[in-house]
Amino acid sequence: MAKDFEVQVLEAVTVRFAGDSGDGMQLTGSQFSNTTALFGNDLSTLPDYPAEIRAPAGTLYGVSGFQLHFSSLEISTPGDSPDVLVAMNPAALKVNLKDLKPGATIVVNENAFDAKNLKLAHYDLNPLEDNSLAGFNVIMVPLSKQTAAALEGLQLSVKDVERTKNFFALGLMYWLFDRPLEPTNAWLESKFGKKPVYLEANKRALTAGYYYGENTEIFSTRYHVAPAKLEKGSYRSISGNEAVALGFVSASVKAGIPLFLGSYPITPASEILQELSNFKNFGVKTFQAEDEIAGIASAIGASFAGNLAVTTTSGPGLALKSEAIGLAVMTELPLVIVDVQRGGPSTGLPTKTEQSDLLQSMYGRNGESPVPILAAATPSDCFDMAFEACRLAVKYMTPVFLLSEGYLANGSEPWKIPDVASLAEIPVNYWKDTETYHTYARDENLSRPWAIPGTPGLEHRIGGLEKAHIYGTVSYVPENHEFMVRMRDAKVKKIQDDIPDLEIMGDEDADLLVAGWGGTYGSVTEAVSNLRKKGYKIAQVHFKYIHPFPKNTKEVLSKFKQILVPERNLGQLSKLLKAEFLKNVIEFNKIQGSPFKSSEIENKIISLFGGENVN
Amino acid sequence: MSTNNVMENVKLTAKDFATNQDVRWCPGCGDYSILAQVQRVSPDLGIPKEKFVWVSGIGCSSRFPYYMNTYGFHSIHGRAPAIATGVKLANPDLSVWVAAGDGDLLSIGGNHFIHACRRNVDMKVILFNNRIYGLTKGQYSPTSEKGKKTKSTPYGSIDFPFLPVNMAVASGATFVARSMDRDPKHLQAMMLRAAAHHGLAFIEIYQNCNIFNDGAYEPLTDKETKADNVVVLEHGKPLIYGKNNDKGIRMDGMNPIIVDLSKGDYSVNDLWVHDEFDENPGRSFVLAHFADLKDFPTPVGVFRQIQKSTYDGDLFAQLDEVTKQKGKGDLANLFRSGNTWEVS
């Protein structure tokens, strides 16, 4: 039966799966991602789903999407504009059409384009019939009917049959992009091993979709994206939230003390709590507290008693934790606070990404309350930065922020699995010596001793009231207060000596420096790389340490005539850079709940070059 | 390991539990008595000094840890039960105590209190209930009686108060008792009982604030009136009170009735016999509710003591169980869980 199809070799493809929030698009997308990762492509994903769990079917606001960029080269973003859209219904088509590349391929479930769904999507005319999609390569597939045919004879409800159509679509995409079915079949075996009818149904739908591509002539071309030449090693696919969880477990192992997580579920941070709750055989204690405050308060208690304590949240939760963070600053206890940022203020955009909690982390407490701030750059970097946050917290006896964001947390990419032996040791030395102990004595790092309850002879009291230098008794002495305020500040600044310098990427002799932080890394890197290939001279730095800034920041910034700071807020890093280095920067801000497209940054850079194309 | 390791060598004294800090409560404050009783009983608990952790929030009584020569954490307003939970889960070998005022524990910290009770974390929660905000200089509290005139209620409070004992029982606390600052012997007895309990032990202490709410409990503590206003709960004993032990409480269905034992209509055998270990919490509610009933005496003593598994116990049991099933965690294996691929 197999026909000869033209096989076109592509360097990179961006695919977006879109449907109702009940259509299983996140699952479909993540299955495609896993298979693609196993196939050896570099990849980056962008799940995009509504805050409502099951919005009414067929509506525009109920559309859930999963975008995936995969390549035979190294890539750093989930792709600007999809080459292929799989739209399960009219609403999914309508919501996503504006994002597509000109001439993109659109695979639609034609069975879903009935009067009711068209009306729900506010289409007066059927877009499949009114020629409005003329600029695209529209492939109409009777997805629902074909799935139903494939599942004939199985004891399944109409609803269950309908719910299986995403696997038909997945099978079809596997055929189109020349991917194997085995990884998804293996996953189905593990998922539905005890429910044979569902296993059979999903396998049948997947296979039927695959052969639908093979046996019909809807596509004249198949596409081949060769494996990427990644650095040698073992890889797995990892999301930012999974990476944070693994980073914490690793830090616990390397520190030789148990991990304690006090947390309250909140989108998009909950997966860290869920992941860590699996790791009980590592001695990991997860405490799902009654609220955000109890989450951090329990972690502070656990830290006082000697555990490696962490708390995880998102913006609104961070607001609730503010007072307790101040307590951790005052009591100088190690604690890592993960903020997986989302659109704000208030409840804001719970499922959308943003970078707008930087100033909250920096200043969102009463009094002079300095806390180190780290920001992860990519999903896999979340592992390194979670580990690093623990290292700094313990070494400097301080709370430490780790800023992630929805896009890193839910997005995934290949992760080169580190060699366990290569991970740094995190020395923990609980204080034991009763002769020399003072609660607020300080070592060369300005850290106070960690003397944990249960240690004979070191009974002491800590708390939120100002304490006397060295002795740690309550002190209202004015000079002591100023001394301690300055001491806490100096301690955090001292971390500068312990973190890497900023590294200038690209053209060191350029006039323009593009300075990103956190989750803008991918888009900025891709934009700078694309333009440099075209002959633009551009330098790039990326801030993963924001408080304190790397030691050479001032020197680096002084080298460039123009500094562009793209960030997804109203200029929070820009404000910090201007305030600390008296350096004018050009702000480039986007606050739309999604990452920068690299083309947006490219266009901004080109405009700074006077709009000239240097070619 | 249990927290009840008997100290074999040196017997500590109350003084060993005092710090060198000047106690800064107002002269005459009921907190002095509570501190003294705690320091007095602490050496008798058989717990090494370094294993005590006192955690508090904010308020006059929350200065308590500074005066106890043990590990201590004077934290932030209302959060002591949550911080104490973290301490206990980090190291279940510690004996964890919370000192809290009525505003701290029941207003700003009410959520943490009820959830600590619900989970039955093995810790002791001591409520210093003076029915007033003292540290902020005299506003009404969540236990102030309705109609109370304070600085923030010049025309009288329009809030109904909480009954802390009911909150604790309803929330699942496994040991619930009440005592008074002016009854040192009884207070010591309650402390010892609470310390011996495995699970969340809650003691409400009626404590006098002689500055902002002086005499709030006078009818219960004054020698002349005490006997007529207080009924002491003792397990297996009938509810008898009164100067001449001539009054008793009997139950008519779920309704308590005061009866006069001197007239011959009722004898001791007709009275409600207190059962601390009653699994049914209903009678504890009725007892606590006496406060709202006209002419009824105020019960002090152990309202309720039941046995349930503790949160900390279950947490560590689960860690052990999963470790037994899966084997001790190995990072290299964990990194490779799920699909991996090689690039060569």
| Mean per-residue pLDDT, A158-187 | 95
Find chain B residues with C-beta within 8 A of A234's C-beta: 336, 340-343
**Helix H or strand E segment including A562:** strand A562-567
Window from A349-363, A521-535, B2-16, B27-41 with minimum mean pLDDT: B2-16
Q: Is the pLDDT of residue A504 over 50?
A: yes
Arithmetic mean of pLDDT, B261-280: 95
Tell me if residue A123 falls in helix, strand or coil: coil
Sign of the Cα torsion A387, A389, A391, A397 reads: negative
Give Cβ neighbours of residue A222 (< 8 Å, ≥ 6 apart): A5, A6, A7, A8, A175, A176, A177, A178, A213
Amino acid at A346: S
pLDDT digits (tens, 9 = 90+) for A448-499: 999 999 999 999 999 999 999 999 999 999 999 999 999 999 999 999 999 9
Q: If we measure between CA atoms, which residue out of A530, A531, A547, A557 comes closest to residue A614? A: A531
Residue A106 CB neighbour total at 10 angstroms: 21
The Cα–Cα gap between A493 and A499 comes to 11
pLDDT of residue B9: 58
Considering only alpha carbons, which residue of chain A is nearest residue B62?
A: A463
Orientation of helix B164-171 relative to helix B282-289, angle to 10° = 170
If we measure between CA atoms, which residue out of A463, A462, A407 comes closest to residue A438?
A462
pLDDT the model gives residue A613: 54
pLDDT digits (tens, 9 = 90+) for A56-99: 889 999 999 999 999 999 999 999 999 999 999 999 999 999 99
Question: Of A293, A294, A276, which is closest to residue A284 (Cα–Cα)?
Answer: A276
pLDDT band at residue B1 under the 50/70/90 scheme: very low
* CA A311 to chain centroid: 17
Cβ atoms of A292 and A264 within 8 Å: the answer is yes
Tell me if A250 and B331 make a contact (CB, 8 A cut-off): yes
Which is more confidently placed, A51 or A140?
Answer: A140
B111: chain A residues, CB-CB within 8 Å? 290-291, 294
Please report, rounded to a whole number, the percentage of residues in chain A having pLDDT higher than 90: 94
pLDDT in tens, A332-387: 999 999 999 999 999 999 999 999 999 999 999 999 999 999 999 999 999 999 99
CB atoms within 10 A of CB B220: 18
Given a cut of 60, whether residue B8 has pLDDT beyond it is: no
pLDDT digits (tens, 9 = 90+) for B188-223: 999 999 999 999 999 999 999 999 999 999 999 999
What pLDDT score was predicted for residue B7? 47
Q: B5 contacts in A (CB within 8 Å)?
A: none
Numbers of helices and strands, H then E, in chain A: 20, 23
pLDDT digits (tens, 9 = 90+) for A514-542: 999 999 999 999 999 999 999 999 999 99
Q: What is the mean pLDDT of chain B?
A: 95
Of B82, B332, B339, the CB nearest to A183: B339
When pLDDT is averaged across residues A283-294 and rounded to a whole number, the result is 98
- Nearest Cα to Cα of residue A270 among A328, A335, A317, A319: A317
Alpha-carbon span A179 to A225, nearest angstrom = 10
Distance from C-alpha of A321 to C-alpha of A91, rounded to nearest angstrom: 39
Q: How far apart are CA B42 and CA A24, in angstroms?
A: 60
pLDDT attached to residue A612: 61
User: Which residues lie closer than 8 Å to A130 by C-beta, 6 or more apart?
Assistant: none
**Token pair 């006039």: residue:** A511
Q: Which residues of B128-148 are buried (b: 16+ CB within 10 A; e: fewer)?
A: bbbbbbbbeeebbbbbbeeeb
* Half-sphere exposure for A379 (CA within 13 Å, toward CB): 28
| DSSP secondary structure code for residue B265 in this structure | S
CA atoms within 13 A on the CB side of A452: 22
- The predicted pLDDT at position B4 comes to 47
Interface test with B, best of A280, A413, A426, A434 (most B CBs within 10 A): A280
Q: Does B1 touch chain A (CB under 8 A)?
A: no
Confidence of residue A615 (pLDDT cuts 50, 70, 90): very low
A287–B318 CB contact, under 8 Å? no
Residue B3: pLDDT above 70?
no
CB A67 within 8 A of CB A16: yes
d(CA B158, CA B176): 28
Please determine, for residue A614, whether its predicted confidence score (pLDDT) is greater than 60. Answer: no
Instruction: Give the B window 58-117 contacts with A, CB below 8 Å.
Output: 58, 65-66, 68-76, 79, 82-91, 93-94, 111-112, 115
Residue A600, number of CB atoms within 10 A of its CB: 16
Calpha distance A583→A587 (Å, rounded): 12
Q: In chain A, which residues have their Cβ closer than 8 Å to the Cβ of B326?
A: 281
Identify all chain B residues contacting A380, using CB atoms and an 8 Å cutoff.
none
E strands in A120-168: 137-141
Which residues on chain A are in Cβ contact (under 8 Å) with B171?
none
Task: Give me A86's structure tokens.
Answer: 């799989």
CB neighbours (10 Å) of residue B24? 11
Overall residue count recorded for chain B in this entry: 344
Cβ of B327 and A291 within 8 Å? no
CA distance A110 to chain B (A): 34
For B105, which DSSP code?
I
Which residues from chain A sit within 8 angstroms of residue B48, using beta carbons? 456
DSSP A456: T
CB B123 within 8 A of CB B23: no
What average pLDDT does the structure give for chain A? 95
- Point out the residue among A250, A285, A327 whose CB comes nearest to the CB of B89: A285
Q: How far is CA B43 from CA A65, A384, B50, B192, B193, in A?
A: 64, 48, 12, 11, 14
Report how far apart, in Å, the C-alpha atoms of B18 and of each of A305, A483, B287 are: 22, 29, 36
Phi (first) and psi of residue A109, to 5 degrees: -85, 100
Residues 6 or more apart in contact with residue A607 via CB below 8 angstroms = none
Sorted by sequence, the CB contacts under 8 Å of residue A335 that are 6+ apart come out as A296, A299, A300, A303, A309, A310, A311, A328, A393, A398, A399, A400
| pLDDT attached to residue A55 | 81
Residue B196, both tokens: 């011996």
- Distance CA(A151)–CA(A205), nearest Å, equals 7
* Res B2 pLDDT > 50: no
Indicate the angle between helix axes B80-90 and B110-119, nearest 10 degrees: 30
Q: How far is CA B134 from the centre of its chain?
A: 19
Angstroms from A147 CA to nearest CA on chain B: 28
SS3 per residue for A422-439: HCCCCCCCCCCCCCCCCC
Max CA distance (Å), chain A: 89
Instruction: Name the residue in chain B with its Cα closest to that of A311.
Output: B86
* Closest in B52, B89, B331 to A260, CB measured: B89
